[in-house]
Amino acid sequence: MKHIRVIAFDADDTLWINEPYFREAEEKFCEMIKEYLPKEEAYRELFKTEVNNLPLYGYGVKGFTLSMIEAIMNITEMKGDLHLVEQAMAIGREILGKPVTLLDGVEHTLKLLNGDYRIVMATKGDLLDQERKLLKSGLAKHFHHIEIMSNKHKEDYQKLIRHLDCQPSEFLMVGNSLKSDIVPVLQAGGSAVHVPYHTTWEHETIDYQIEHENYFQVENLGELIPMLKGENCLTDGEA
């Protein structure tokens, strides 16, 4: 890994807890609407609405809230009342007010990497919400650059790599989503380290194995530095 000059970190569920808050929100949504539709079906309806709305609303809490409201209209066939909508909006606001809890090894790792590498944060989501989380996290000082992206496709990474003025071969992405943090980076010619998180949004999963010479896995961020030093480095073939 001697060629790496820039390390980009995904934020949600890589640096701090995020997805469990959405799982909790979905659970509350399904509970409040259960007299109209059994929970599992309500979850399917909400998921379908969210995914349909991604091109329109993008990622983040505001789009999620609007999708909950749209799902209420569909599930109740317009017979629900404004109290359901009020509850959905409260569920959304609750996510926005959640504390930012760092994952194990994050602060230590960022601190140690700084100096040896240019450290970047590259995350999807609502602009204001991600900025607020970064502020709450206290991690801003570790980053040379913050990129909040509307999407994480191959082209988006190519743009980011150009903007960072480095070669794809010098760029390493670290994240929990195989679909957003790993596959498109490998396609763009970069390297990628997968740090799995116990909960992943269904839309972020992939149903195939990745085999690539620039793809690596660690169990947690604490393993990143030994990996970069060439110790304890599991490629997919060895894992």
130 vs 191 by CB, closer to its own copies: 130
Binding residue for its own copies, selected from 150, 199, 232, 235, defined by CB under 8 A: 150
Residue 233 and residue 216: Cα distance in Å, rounded? 7
Using rule CB under 8 A, residue 173 touches its own copies: no
Q: What are the structure tokens assigned to 61, written together?
A: 């809490």
The CA-to-CA distance between both ends of the chain, in Å, stands at 18
Enumerate residues 6+ apart whose C-beta is below 8 A from 118. Answer: 5, 6, 7, 144, 145, 164, 166
Q: What angle do CA 127, 145, 227 make, to 5 degrees?
A: 115
Using rule CB under 8 A, residue 198 touches its own copies: no
90 vs 206 by CB, closer to its own copies: 90
66 vs 103 by CB, closer to its own copies: 66
Within 61-90, the residues that bind its own copies by CB under 8 A are 62-63, 65-66, 69-70, 72-73, 76, 78-83, 85-86, 89
Using rule CB under 8 A, residue 45 touches its own copies: no
DSSP 150: S
Residue 106 and residue 202: Cα distance in Å, rounded? 25
Using rule CB under 8 A, residue 58 touches its own copies: yes
Using rule CB under 8 A, residue 35 touches its own copies: no
Binding residue for its own copies, selected from 13, 126, 170, 223, defined by CB under 8 A: 126
How far apart, in Å, are the Cα atoms of 96 and each of 9, 18, 82, 101, 107? 21, 10, 21, 13, 22
Binding site for its own copies (CB under 8 A): 56-58, 62-63, 65-66, 69-70, 72-73, 76, 78-83, 85-86, 89, 92-93, 96, 126-129, 131, 145, 148-150, 163
